[in-house]
Amino acid sequence: MKIVRPITPDDLPAFEEFAFRSTTGIINLPKDHQLLYERIRDSVMTFAETNRDPYRHMYVFVMEDLETGQLGGTSAIRARTGGIEPIYFYKVIDILPRTASPRIPVQKAIQGASEEEGPSNICALYLIPEFRKGGLGRLMSLSRFLFMASHPQHFTETVTSELRGVIDESGRSPFWDAIGKHFFAAELPETFNLLMQGKQFIADFLPQYPIYINVIPFEAQKAIGAVKSSTQPALKMLLDEGFTLQQTIDVFDGGPNVIANLKEIRTIKESVVAMVAHLTDEHVDSDDYLISNTVPEFRSCFGTLTLDSDKATLSKKIAAALKLELGHTIRFAPVPRRKPA
């Protein structure tokens, strides 16, 4: 059985493996031992509510195979964005003609922008290839929403996510090559490495004036607001959860940003809280649900249950996986379409 739980210091070797196996563009998985250690430290303090800096509140989760002990993936939530460093992005804007001539069309452009304080952000989703099956990506991603549903006071009213844009296996981005590299003389992988030291340099190179989209190479135009093929399922999943595309894109690869109201996210909105009233040795025959406990040591998994009023019946296997006992409460939500392996 696969479960999602908070990361611990003992998970550092696997966390490093995720970072070094991940592709270019996951900046929340830095390829740096010390920074990864600090991510874990900040996460442990955040879950324990001992981290006093809200802009360092980062909840990092891992997926564990309880039968083998293998870790197969990670994801995270930033409770607040900005603060320590601004958030930089391009706005996609319309530039209207000054006259009503039919020969002068409305022009699309991108305009550099920043925010000092931003909303909660889900990020750093990564699974090793062996775990990219049976809906495990959905488990890794959506478990964050059950956690947020149980602790809404820690998050903002809106939630965003930045998806990886079009980047090939060598780290080349048509968007960066067409725009960013003209203002910052570095290849994209090197630029991402510099991000680990801070984001101030973005303000130094971000163009001050709008850039007309129709004057950049067509390959770069197609990359604006687009995702690489391997990220398409993640984008579709978030859109199915109620996220919508923003008119903003990433300054490096042109990838899209999506946004949702916290309370309107499907998994959160449809989640139900119930008390564990019965445990059984038998398999419980029902639809599949995403189920979590509601105690500080968060755990979630796919499973089945039956409900009588607000009292749930679970198998003992599910209860053991989630460290549940009679009288504990659970939060669960229906799993759309796919069934776990």
Say how far apart CA 172 and CA 186 lie, in whole Å. Answer: 11
pLDDT, residue 101, reads: 80
* Cβ burial, residue 308 (10 Å; 0-12/13-18/19+): exposed
Helix (H) or strand (E) segment spanning residue 15: helix 12-21
pLDDT, residue 105, reads: 87
pLDDT, residue 339, reads: 42
Task: Give the CA diameter of the chain.
Answer: 75
Helix (H) or strand (E) segment spanning residue 295: none
Say how far apart CA 20 and CA 18 lie, in whole Å. Answer: 6
According to DSSP, the β-strands at 300-303 and 158-162 are unpaired
pLDDT band at 340 (very low <50, low <70, confident <90, very high): very low
Of residues 229 and 240, more confidence is placed in: 240
What is the value of pTM for the model shown? 0.92
- Rounded to an integer, the average pLDDT of 77-96 is 92
**Given a cut of 60, is residue 153 above it in pLDDT?**
yes
**Given a cut of 90, is residue 98 above it in pLDDT?**
no
pLDDT, residue 303, reads: 95
Say how far apart CA 61 and CA 40 lie, in whole Å. Answer: 10
Identify residue 55 by its one-letter amino acid code. Answer: Y
pLDDT band at 318 (very low <50, low <70, confident <90, very high): very high
* Residue closest to 277 by CA, chosen among 338, 317, 229, 319: 319
**Given a cut of 70, is residue 24 above it in pLDDT?**
no
Say how far apart CA 101 and CA 206 lie, in whole Å. Answer: 32
Q: Name all contacts of 32-41 with Cβ < 8 Å and 24+ positions apart.
A: 32/196, 35/196, 36/12, 37/12, 39/15, 39/76, 40/7, 40/8, 40/9, 40/11, 40/12, 40/15, 41/9
Say how far apart CA 161 and CA 68 lie, in whole Å. Answer: 31
- Rounded to an integer, the average pLDDT of 45-49 is 93
φ, ψ of residue 137 to 5 degrees: the values are -65, -40
- The 3-class SS string of 230-274 reads HHHHHHHHHHHCCCEEEEEECCCCCCEEEEEEHHHCHHHHCCEEE
Domains of the chain: 81-118+157-268 (no CATH), 269-334 (2.40.40.20)
pLDDT, residue 232, reads: 92
**Given a cut of 80, is residue 263 above it in pLDDT?**
yes
Interval 110-149: pLDDT, tens: 999 999 999 999 999 999 999 999 999 999 999 999 999 9
Say how far apart CA 183 and CA 110 lie, in whole Å. Answer: 15
* Residue closest to 334 by CA, chosen among 266, 277, 275: 266
Identify residue 292 by its one-letter amino acid code. Answer: S
